[in-house]
Structure 1
Amino acid sequence: MAYDRKCLEAASAQLNKFRPEKDSPEQFLEAASATLQSLSPPRRACVLEVLAGCLEHRRLLEVVVDAFYARDGRLCRGADRGLFQVVCYLATFQLEELGFPLFCEVVASQPLDKMLKFLRFFFNPLNLCSWIKDEWSLVYDGSHVKESWIDPLMRWQPEVQKLIRQLQEALASQHLPQKTKAKVTEPRGFNLTLPKPRALPMPEPVPSLAKPRPVPGSTYQVPEEQQRLEMIKRFNRWKAEELLLRANVEELRCAMPRARAGSPGQGSQAKPRLRAPPRIRRTPKLTFYRPDHVPVKLNTAAILREGALYQREVEKELQRVDKLVDGAGDFSEFLEWQKKMQARDREEQLVADECRRLQGKLSHEEAALARHSLVQENKQKADRKKEETAELMQQRAEQRLQEERAAKELVGQVAETQKNVKAAQARLLKGRRQAAQELTDERRELLQRSAQAAAEERRRRGEAVCLLRALETRPTRKGKAVDLTQVAGHGLEGEMSVVELRERLALLGEARRRQQEETRDRIVRGRRARGRELRATLEQIALCRAAAGRAAALRWEEKKGRSAQPSQDERVLALRRRVEERAAERRRQGTLLQGSPPRASRPRPRAQLEAQHWLELEQSGERRLRALQPRSPAREAA
């Protein structure tokens, strides 16, 4: 890539215009590309590439440039900040790609005293390995900074120090007094007036697009009905938790045993022994809001659909009454039989639910037994595992000795192979330099070709512009005036002037507006009538819903009374006996395990907690059944 004096001056000038608090890198690069249209395409690409790299690594470059101005560059101008940032970027990130000869040319094209000060400050090994490395490590990872930037800069130290000495010698030779020569007469050419170049035509303005409509705010907001439903749901949950807590407190009060009566020998001085109530696990406090009564809003289709449903039910009921009046049969016997069958099905369902619950409890007891047996097996496996571990540790010690011997042999081999590394590195470096030089030559040829193609394109565009201007300068005929009140006279039927045509169009528009107003009034009247019909349908729906709710409440009370009766099925009794047997066996094994010697690890009381939990659940269920069971007269007398 062609890095010359103009490219560096353009890049540093654009970089001085960048303000990080106001400009974004993408917009700044677009603006810079627009302002650099006067440069050739290769130079413009070169400048844009350097600007993009400097903006990407701006924080690293500012660390070095700010420190240079604070220490060695106090006498340098502030306008040269961009130039120092560009040179620091090329030395840090592009030195491997450019090659050292091209970098020397870039440095020689700038003022020598400034470049000498900056290179001496930046390539100082003490600065690179101390504070520059620390400051860069605050921005990027320390290992990445050392491997990617600090180590390559330290490798280039011999060549850079040689370049610094050359700059010192060149600067010293410039300051030496030069011999004055005799002034020689120089011929001057004629000062002829040059023709003024033709200006290019102004580009057409870019049409501005219509401003899009903003997104409505309701798109990202939850509907009000949904918010109210959520509030109602939270309030109902809070009420359910409160009722459940009250029921648990009442059960615990009933479960507390009464104080035992004192023995005859002790008299009234014996104090009753009270057992502490079981622990209650309360849920965290939740905040709920009591919403107002908010009915669900129905649309027109839902209202008409539900109204038609209730209307069909009313018609069916009227038809049934008419049939009964005419002498049709009654379905009371069938309904009684249906209720009996449903009651029997419900009893079977309750028995099946109780059987499933007892089967779950039975499986829990069997799992506890299996867990106890698994503990015994694990103890035996642990003993065997300890023996195997001891054998493996001995084998591992022998294997480690063999690995140490092999490692010593490998170290000797590696030491022998490292002797020829320097020669291989020298050959590799020479090959890379040759490849970099060939790549630089190819790039120069490509840039020359692209410059020739751009010149040919500019010449072709200039010819096209001249042709267009010649076409624009041709004289044009002006059209004659038109009389809008005059008829054209083509002999057509119904021919009229433009003025008469406009009047007729105005009359037609007025008639169309009157027709639209009549249609709008008719639509409004239809909407009002439909609204009255919908309100009447809503009132009918509310009445039907209230009646259906009362019927459902009666059915629920009846079902609740039926489900309160306990079941005495043989399968349930058999399952209860099996559960009691398994529980007794589990408690017996638990006592055996407790009598065994303690283990080294911490005990795990999970099985005891689960057993206590299931026992409390069973007692709670029995108390609920006793509370819901209807009292007989003999029991009340007792």
Structure 2
Amino acid sequence: MNHEELIYYCVDIVNTYRDSFLSPEDHLKDYLSSKNLKDNDAVFVSEVFSGLLRYMNISLVVTEPFYNTHGRGVPLSDQTLLKVITYLALFRLDELGMPHFRKFIRTQDFNIMYKFLNFFINESSLKSWIKDEWSKLYDVAFVQTALLSPLLRWLPELTELVQQLKQKVDAKQTPVKKQLPLTKVKEFSLTKPRPRSVPLPYPIPKLQKHKPVPKTLYEKPKEVNRLQAQRIENRQAAEGRLMESSKYQFACANFNKSEKTERKLQQIRLEEDQKLQFDSYKAKPLPKEVMQTDVPIKLNAATIMREGKLFKEREKEVIKKLESLESGAHDSSKFMKWQEEMRQKDLEAELAMVERRRLEGKMSHEDAILARQKLINDNQKKVEEMKIETEELMARYLQDRLEEEQLMRSLVEMVLGGRENAKEAKKKLVQYKAKIVQEVNEESKELMRRALEEAEEEMKRKVELIHQIRAMEAAPISRNKMVDFTETAGYRFLNEMSIAELRERLSLLKEKQAEEEETKRTEILQNKQSKDRMLMDTLTVISKYRAEDTRAKAEQRANLRVKKESTKEKLLNSDDKLLSLQEKLEMKKAERLEAQQKMKVKPSATSLRQTSSMMREKTH
């Protein structure tokens, strides 16, 4: 098979592939079986198809920018062809060699191939933006070793191929000039027209010179510049105060924590966040009637059999353990006792840690509240200062606006005086246009009347034709045919019978089927009853085991709860660190309450007088 057919099959298999209907393997198998290719050709087509699907993103990095920048005149239907050429140049050039690759290129349109290869085979583009785009998709080492290095190694031969294509394009674009006979000039024998008279020029109307637009219209108001300058000045002052405060901050304060401290804080936050359930869905409680009544859980057959098998296996394990103890096996009671003691120690340590973290969290919460109260007081002072400055600026701004409005009012009165003449001319133009519109409306009404009359005549003719067709269809036609159910059709087929005989045979067949169904129904019912008896026996065993497990777990939970409470009380009374943390927390809380009491707003004498006067006015 020649190179042109090979490249055609490679492009065709990619174009006909739809990933939503078939997998790549099934599509490749169906395509090769339908084309009857040779073994070598089929292997080449399958390798190109699988490789192009695998590295489709690499080909798109080259083809899409080509169509956006240099793809004018190149049809979009050739996009798959360009992807195949890109794949062969990047991954199969060492295997094919330059002669075969050159033959693949020469079988296609050399104008398109020259445009694409001139865009792609460019050393500066390959080392700059193409390499950057490939590095976003794959590792830099893979891009350098598997993509760029082989291509740069073949770059001299590829550049020579591009130059050959350019020579072909230039040779085709230089058309051969034909020697055309010279045209002999012959004068027309026409009568010379009289020279036209020069028309008189139209008088140019003299318009009143307009006043130029004031420059202040394109300038920002002075207030905006003042406010901007004031903002910059305030920001610089705030930055200066910040620098001064940071320069004289306390030497004992250390804001930077060590890495170990940060890790521990992060771990504590994660553990505390896992305990919180703010976003969890809170279900509605069940009614009291349902909670008070013990509703049994309905189990299906598979669940009953599975649970019965589980309990039987447990029985076997217990029996096996007892038999081993009877035969002299080792008892693990000492190990279980030691394990219980170790768990108790771990529980005490965990409870102490939880209580310490809770107290530390409360202390940090109290510190944060005190800092916030201090920040609120500072912000209130700054707001009062800003209000006074804003009132002064607004007063200046209102005064300037009043002066500008008076100036604009005088300008408007001057402009209105010059517009009276323009209004008269505009009024005459409106009257002339209204007259033209009236004439056009009268002509359109006449045309509409004629069109309506013609449409009405056409509708009458169609209605008459419909009446005639319906009268012909309503004529009665005799289609009655006498049928005898005891006679055969007379086609002389084998086993031919009449309709009556057929009905009789069908009734006998239905009776036979009914008897068979009744027999099957009886068998099914017997099997179902035996299965139900087996399930009831298994369910009785399950209920006994469940009751025993529930009782044992309830006793275990009660013992564990009592043990945990006693351990917690013992730790709180015996741990000195927890007691000291509790005392510090009480001190912080008292300090916070005292600060809140100071921050409460106390009414002044003036506000009390105003309130009492307002109440008297309401009563009167």
- TM-score band, normalised by shorter chain: 0.3 to 0.5
With the length of structure 1 as denominator, give the TM-score of the two structures: 0.41
